[in-house]
Structure 1
Amino acid sequence: MHSASNPLDWPAYDELLARARHTTGVEESVTYGQVLIGDIDVMLIEFDFRFLGGSVGTATGDRLVHALSTARARGMPVVSLLATGGSRMQEGMFSLLQLQRVARECHLNKESGVPHVAVLRNPTTGGVWASLGASADVILGVSGAQVAFGGSRVRSGEDVHHPVFTSEGQFAAGLIDAVVTPGTLPATLVTWLELLTGGTPEPADVPKALGRTELPTDGWDAVKRARDPRRPRASAYLESYFDTYALINGDRSGGVDPGMLCGIGWRAGRSVAFAAQTGTATRPAGYRTASRLITMADRFGIPVLTLVDTPGAANDAASESAGLADAISGVFAAVAAAHIPVTTLVIGEGGSGGALALAGAGRTWITPDAYFSVIAPELAAGILKRDSAEDLADQLRLRPQDLLDLGIVDGIA
């Protein structure tokens, strides 16, 4: 007859547990409790790798479920410090089934607007990474930590030391948000907890225009101004607008677009989320990162600011293969579904649907050195078989003052 603590009657398992408890001074591989990080009460979950490799058994699952559900009941953020080899072999499928329980609690916490910051320490592998860790809103990886679904003992020989199986490799692939050191981790946690819990329902302020203030004389002048390399880009607007900000990274599906800056900043005593194009053709990973940001901000009641600046969506073969239309659709859907206000400022080129996807309906402004158009004038000329893109720029009515007259934008910044 098996016992609850040894459901498979695994030989010497009870002795292994007793030894682990004596070595670590704790009852299980996970401890948890309410702590103060900065000025914020959080539910802290910590794995101890010394306890049977930080593995998850049925008792561990009970602890994780209780910690996550308690955080939800108290409305407090979760910080999980992972260091685990995954499921506990000595409990077989009873161990593996704990991942379903953990995943359900993580989902319920998301639905309830409970922020979760996960810290991936060395190592973080197996089902805990795939359930508790990867589902977090913000994921921080400790520098040099092994991070992978498959641990080093189950990977093929040529993959054992591949750099993708590290915090740095996961960051490069857009799967985690930042790489930290043990020294920088405390301050980073405080920053993210403040940003994730600092939202108010009022719309984000419209940023001040940083470039030229006079309006363009004609359509082609507007296009040239928007393409001027001296025009302020998104990074300048973010630095001017926020007291401080932190970036999320990647689309969590293996893609990163450096031309899309997404994150949350602190302005006038509250949090404002942002998705900002930097003037390049936006790739699918950029749109998916923006969707992730807007959806996350909506859950936590954080208003969103979008900065539009792109000649259009990247339409090369690689982007099409990566699901460009689906990625753009995801941003349209995220903006449409958001309960929080989305404020938009067009700061440069506003090219076609690749720009419009980020625009908040009824809350869109434009700077004097920007334009917004159904398509770039040169491409319109090609489609319509016209000789002059310059003449067509006037007909497209893409200048800031034209767009204001037409009711397309709400104002000129």
Structure 2
Amino acid sequence: GALPRTGGEAVARARAAGPPRAEAYLDAYFDDREEISGDRCSGTDPGMRCGFGRHAGRTVAFAAQCGTPTRPAGYRTAVRLLRTADRLGIPVLTLIDTPGAANGPEDERAGTGGAVAETFAAVAETGVPVTSLLIGEGGSGGALALAAPERLWTTPDSYFSVIAPESAAAVLKRGPDRVAETAESLRLRPQDAVTLGVARGVAPPAP
């Protein structure tokens, strides 16, 4: 699809309900798949889909965010998936789509910071290839935790940002009327991620 012209358009497209999300990408890529559930520690996060699938006759592991703030159990489930795939020698695909890590009181008690850090470490330490695709919102460290270094691709309906433009405007003491301007300054369009060297290129969206 066509790339967004402005930072504000990139954010709006990534947040829209219409573009394909994790389920569509998983359906388009895998012939069949089986999912694992929970981190065997603190619970489950329905916003993180993890499992193993078959693509072109080969087994591929996947960890996919579904557009919601990712909870500690979601990150720990992804870590469980990554470590299992590493032991079995199975390559991993991660799909990134989250406004950020969940940060409510319950999430903080469950160890959000530690779970995010553990995910960063698992992605970095795994010996199998990990490929990442940004398919929606790429909010701060909560999204970056699943991004494979030098193996990240974006889609036209996505953006990556260290902070949401609304929050950035508030930090800079700018009013709501300057959010679009702030989004432009953040250089968060998918093509900006490529220019800045964060992503390798822009991939087509799921059919």
Flag whether TM exceeds 0.5 (same fold). yes
Equivalent of 1:237 in 25, 37, 40: 25
Amino acid corresponding to residue 225 of structure 1 in structure 2: R
What root-mean-square deviation, in Å, do the aligned CA atoms of Structure 1 and Structure 2 show? 0.7
For 1:287, the equivalent position in structure 2 comes to 75
Contact 2:95 2:135 (8 Å CA) reproduced: yes
Counterpart code for 2:127:
H
Q: Spell out the pairing of 1:194-273 with structure 2 (5 A cutoff).
A: 213-273=1-61
Deviation at 1:386, TM superposition (A): 1.8
Measured after TM superposition, the shift of residue 406 of structure 1 is 1.1
Unaligned runs of 5+ in 1: 1-212
Distance 1:351 1:217 in 2: 20
Q: Give the Cα–Cα distance (whole angstroms) in 2 for the partners of residues 386 and 246 of structure 1.
A: 47
Comparing 389-398 with 376-385, which one deviates more in the overlay?
A: 376-385
In structure 2, the residue matched to 1:349 is 137
The answer to whether residue 199 in structure 2 is matched with residue 404 in structure 1 is no
1:378 Cα deviation (Å)?
0.7
Matched letter for residue 32 of structure 2? T
Partner residue, 2:181: 391
Q: Which amino acid aligns with 1:298?
A: D
Query: Once the two structures are aligned, what percentage of the paired residues are identical?
Result: 62
Stretches of 4+ moved more than 2 A in 1?
none
Q: Which amino acid is 2:179 matched to?
A: A
1:372 aligns with 2:160: yes
Residue of structure 2 aligned with 1:336, choices 118, 121, 124: 124
> Higher RCO, 1 or 2 (CA under 8 Å, sep at least 6)?
2
**Paired residues, number:** 201
SS of residue matched to 1:412: coil
Instruction: Quote the Cα distance in structure 1 between the aligned partners of 2:156 and 2:169.
Output: 24
Deviation at 1:381, TM superposition (A): 1.3
Larger radius of gyration: 1
- 1:325-346 per-residue CA deviation (whole Å, 9 max, x = no partner) reads 0000110010011000110000
1:194-214 CA-partner distances (Å, limit 9, x unpaired)? xxxxxxxxxxxxxxxxxxx00
* SS state at 2:37 partner: coil
Distance 2:45 2:197 in 1: 32
State the secondary structure of the residue aligned to 1:229: coil
Give structure 2 stretches of 5+ with no counterpart: none
Amino acid aligned to 2:183: A
TM-score (norm 2): 0.96
Give, in angstroms, the shift of residue 384 of structure 1: 2.0
